[in-house]
């Protein structure tokens, strides 16, 4: 159990360090871009993006502000109620995500997947999804 606790804390830090060094893109910004890339019309309500990234809304607002300043995201009023805001992944943001993806994958392999030789990765994926919900 102690090893699991270490992985839970050490893996995100290692991935963040690699992405920040190799791509100058913190892991949380990568995750925001990734979640938007997988959303319908590449947009999510700010509160939904915060939930997807396991952040508070105020923390997510800061992340989106930084990404917006780089042209990776734009914010638009929510057409459903006009009160909230949606974060929208721009073409530039999608390109940035595609540039960073190989570094993220290599880091994930180096710090996690390469240590799972012989395990059924589909079963592991199913177990991780169950834990994450």
Q: Are 105 and 30 in contact (CB under 8 A)?
A: no
Which band of pLDDT confidence, cut at 50, 70 and 90, is reported for residue 65?
very high
Domain that holds residue 61: 2-132
Q: What is the CATH number for 127?
A: 1.10.10.10
Cα angle: 112, vertex 67, 95; to 5 degrees:
70
Q: Collapsing DSSP states into helix, strand and coil, what is residue 6?
A: helix
Residues 6+ apart with CB under 8 A from 29: 63, 66, 67, 72
pLDDT, tens digit, for every residue of 83-126? 889 999 999 999 999 999 999 999 999 999 899 888 888 898 89
Q: Could you give the number of structural domains in the chain?
A: 1
SS3 content of the chain, % helix, strand, coil (to 5): 70, 10, 20
């Amino acid at each position: 159990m102690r090893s699991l606790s270490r992985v839970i804390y050490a893996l995100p830090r290692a991935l963040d360090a690699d992405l920040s060094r190799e791509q100058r893109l913190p892991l949380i910004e990568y995750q925001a871009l990734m979640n938007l890339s997988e959303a319908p019309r590449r947009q999510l309500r700010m509160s939904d993006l915060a939930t997807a990234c396991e952040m508070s809304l105020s923390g997510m607002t800061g992340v989106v502000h930084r990404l917006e300043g780089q042209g990776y995201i734009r914010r638009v009023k929510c057409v459903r109620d006009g009160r909230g805001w949606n974060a929208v992944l721009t073409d530039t943001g999608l390109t940035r995500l595609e540039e960073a993806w190989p570094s993220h994958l290599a880091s994930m392999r180096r710090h996690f997947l390469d240590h799972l030789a012989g395990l059924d990765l589909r079963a592991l994926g199913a177990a991780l999804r169950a834990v994450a919900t």
